[in-house]
Structure 1
Amino acid sequence: MLLGQLLAQYEEELIAVGEEAESLSFAYRALKNWTFTDFVLALQKEVEAEDQALLQSIFEQLKYHVPAQYIIGSAEFCGHVFTVDERVLIPRPETEELVTLILEENSRESLRVLDIGTGSGAIAISLALARPNWQVQASDVSEEALELAQANAQELEAVVSFKTSDVLDELEGLYDLIVSNPPYISRDDIEEVGANVLASEPHLALFADRDGYAIYEKIAQQAPSVLTPDGKIYLEISYKQGKKVKELFQEAFPNKRVRVLKDQFGQDRMVVVDNGSI
């Protein structure tokens, strides 16, 4: 059977169970280490037994809602390749927008930065690589996630320090910039979560108590004592949390500006706390 024919059969079955058909060829190409041209040229060739077995393995995992990034063991973020597995969330494109915003708005040579709930380390490591003079600290309540984040930092040669902490409970000192993409999904919104996310990604990093606001509330409570006078906070939020999160941080920082910013799709996605000047 030709590769294109076999892919078409599998893709039809994936669509039937609610998975994206493109995930199959994406994972297959990555595991074969093929360019797109390699892939296109192979579509009209007979599939050898070894490749049939590989495609079958990928298909079975996708069918049971294992994300393609877990199958290949990596995800690209801000131009870097991060190892990912079931210990951490897969970094999302909208979080790249948060990193880009931070870099655009902060040009100072030396900043002390804290990334709360670092997961794979994607935010902290990307910032450290882009701004080598920044002192970047990353924390997470999950020791398993921190193990993976440390491995990513080592692989990418990023200077980041890591510490186990529930928000700021175990952290000391002052920070010029606090960033967090925390768990923010309410358990009442579980139906909005994709099947592959729900089946495979860590729920500790997805869901938060108090209708999804618990971690924001804790950051708002603890941050005033550790943020420098000119310090800033950058948060990723759900598309429907902008008003509430803005109110939380405006109350915690009455003398600062609190902005709700949209992502490339026009959805509320970031909350920024600063002194009103970029």
Structure 2
Amino acid sequence: MLLQKADRDPEAAEYVLLERQDWRKTDLLLNERRPMPESVWQQFEQDVAQLKTGLPAQYLLGYAWFAGLKLKVNQATLIPRQETEELVSWIGEVYPATTSLRILDIGTGSGAIALALKQHFPNSTVVATDISNAALTVAQENATNLQLPVTFYQGDLWQALPASETKFDVIVSNPPYIATDEKKVMDYSVLNFEPQTALFADHQGLAIYERLAVEVAHYLQPQGNLFMEFGYQQALAIKTIFQNALPQHQVEIRHDLADWPRMARVY
């Protein structure tokens, strides 16, 4: 009720309580008539007070779940989303898990995509980049904690890569894709707490895709695949950008579980 009055997500309180107790929803139902221990109640009150400010539950807890991995997150990194798990799953459909690939994740943030792919393709070499040193610090910590070896480089898109890192079988990216004029309709918690540089891009959110399209062929193996996530209204623009830049390639658009066009494969 307190969160609803503050125009915040009321389910966030339940999510945090379940995570703090290491419970599933069935555990909550089994214990709903039992008195809450004083220490648990005090922590819950503190958590609700934080959630009322708009702080996302994952930042409050300090971690988020992605593809079965528990990842540290903070305000230097985006909170990984379920839609991005679908992008990882798509790559898993294209290649057998035992394949030895060279994989590049551009704009890795917390390392979610890179680490999930390393877990799924243990025989593969995974490289990840980000423009933010603060984000890469989090990503490296996640890689260490999960014992998933990924090589991280700091820099802007291709500029992050040393000369030795050239051709990849798979390039994947979930770049900033929100147009700045969309701020007025965005969720308060996302707009005020998640990193702006990981959210917004010029040219109606298409600037990074335009840059990827120009140079990706130089870094992709002849039979390689580029996978990307994008905004639900950008499918036609994405397809046009890559068909114009890479006329010899195919562009496939895939819908997410909510039936929005949200992912592309260029091959």
TM-score bracket for this pair, using the shorter chain length: over 0.9
Q: What's the % identity of the aligned pairs?
A: 39
Match of 2:100 among 110, 128, 133: 110
Q: Provide the secondary structure at the position in 2 that maps to 1:168.
A: helix
State yes or no: 1:83 paired with 2:72.
Answer: yes
* Paired AA for residue 105 in structure 2: D
State yes or no: 1:175 paired with 2:165.
Answer: no
Structure-2 separation of matches of 1:54 and 1:135: 42
State yes or no: 1:241 paired with 2:248.
Answer: no
Is the 1:109–1:134 contact (alpha carbons within 8 Å) kept by the matching residues of 2? yes
Give the aligned CA root-mean-square deviation in angstroms.
1.4
* Paired AA for residue 101 in structure 2: L
Match of 2:141 among 143, 151, 173: 151
Partner of 2:251: 258
Partner of 1:213: 206
State yes or no: 1:43 paired with 2:36.
Answer: no
Structure-2 separation of matches of 1:229 and 1:183: 27
CA displacement 1:14-43 (0-9 Å, x = unmatched): 112222211102102212333434433432
* Paired AA for residue 218 in structure 2: S
Aligned residues between the structures: 263
Q: Provide the secondary structure at the position in 2 that maps to 1:272.
A: strand
State yes or no: 1:124 paired with 2:117.
Answer: no
CA displacement 1:174-231 (0-9 Å, x = unmatched): 1111100001000111123211111211111111112101111111112121111111
Structure-1 separation of matches of 2:121 and 2:266: 21
* Paired AA for residue 164 in structure 1: Q
Q: Provide the secondary structure at the position in 2 that maps to 1:133.
A: coil
- How much has 1:54 moved relative to structure 2? 0.9
Q: Provide the secondary structure at the position in 2 that maps to 1:23.
A: helix
Is the 1:257–1:273 contact (alpha carbons within 8 Å) kept by the matching residues of 2? yes
Unaligned runs of 5+ in 1: 1-11
Is the 1:121–1:152 contact (alpha carbons within 8 Å) kept by the matching residues of 2? yes
TM-score normalised by L of structure 1: 0.91
Q: Provide the secondary structure at the position in 2 that maps to 1:199.
A: helix
TM-score normalised by L of structure 2: 0.94
Unaligned runs of 5+ in 2: none
Is the 1:224–1:252 contact (alpha carbons within 8 Å) kept by the matching residues of 2? no
Runs (4+) of structure 1 moved beyond 6 Å?
none
State yes or no: 1:229 paired with 2:219.
Answer: no
Structure-1 separation of matches of 2:26 and 2:204: 47
